[in-house]
Amino acid sequence: MLAGFFSRKDDTAPLAIGEAEYTVIDTELTGLDLKKDSIVSIGAVRMKGARIDIGASFYQLIHPSSGMDHKNILIHGITPSEVEQKPAIDAVLDELSAFCGDSVIVGHFVSLDINFINKELKRTGRKNMKNAAVDTCKIYEWIKSNEGPFSRHYTARRDELDLFSIAREYSISFNEGHNALSDAFITAQLFQRFLSSLPGSGVKSIRDLLKIGKA
């Protein structure tokens, strides 16, 4: 259903995955309903190949266009009063797209984040994101199904596929915070691990990467 976003994918195809530019992105939302809910914060970090550039990060709290319910406040820890003085998403969108540039978007279940961003882009009369995008969860599932003699029988339970469980499996240390920026950093480190092992499994170019992990 997301195929329409990626008109650029053929341009980026021959690029090696170790050479490409990436933006690892995460959003916190008021809820999961694309119609009713909206973005409370966006965190993103740039990678050049497998190098995470700590300084090149993006973080913005956003005054959501929809109400915040209590359950989600508990998850992301952002209270209504914190975002009251923050800009509305309209003011943040251009900055975000400038930050992303032409890079490949990376995220855990990233189509959800992209859907919300595109909703806002559309609402404010802008065009959808055109960047190629890959989902670290899909890459993880591909790696699992590709390794070991029992891999064919591998089926993860949904609850084992969340970012923190996978990060733990790769011994990535983190504070379980649900802050969009720190989650983006965790995702970036996970993606970094993938980038080091994927060429050995034959995934060498962005074209290959999209084949196994396109969001």
Nearest-approach distance from CB 44 to another protein, in angstroms: 12
Q: Which is nearer to another protein, 65 or 146 (CB)?
A: 146
Q: Which is nearer to another protein, 115 or 182 (CB)?
A: 182
β-bridge mates for residue 205, sequence order: 16
Using alpha carbons only, what angle is made at residue 38 by residues 117 and 94, rounded to the nearest 5 degrees? 35
Q: Which is nearer to another protein, 31 or 199 (CB)?
A: 199
Q: Which residue has tokens 């341009």?
A: 11
Residues that bind another protein (CB under 8 A): 50-55, 57, 171, 173-174, 181-182, 185-186, 188-189, 192-193, 196-197
* Cα distance between residue 210 and residue 207, in whole Å: 5
Q: Which is nearer to another protein, 145 or 182 (CB)?
A: 182
Nearest-approach distance from CB 181 to another protein, in angstroms: 6
What amino acid is encoded at 188 in this protein? A
Torsional sign, CA 185, 128, 109, 42 = positive
Residue of 99, 96, 106, 100 lying closest to 206 (CA atoms): 106
Nearest-approach distance from CB 78 to another protein, in angstroms: 16
Residues whose CB is less than 8 angstroms from the CB of residue 35 and which lie 6 or more positions away in sequence, other chains included = none
Q: Which is nearer to another protein, 31 or 164 (CB)?
A: 164
Nearest-approach distance from CB 137 to another protein, in angstroms: 19
Nearest-approach distance from CB 193 to another protein, in angstroms: 6
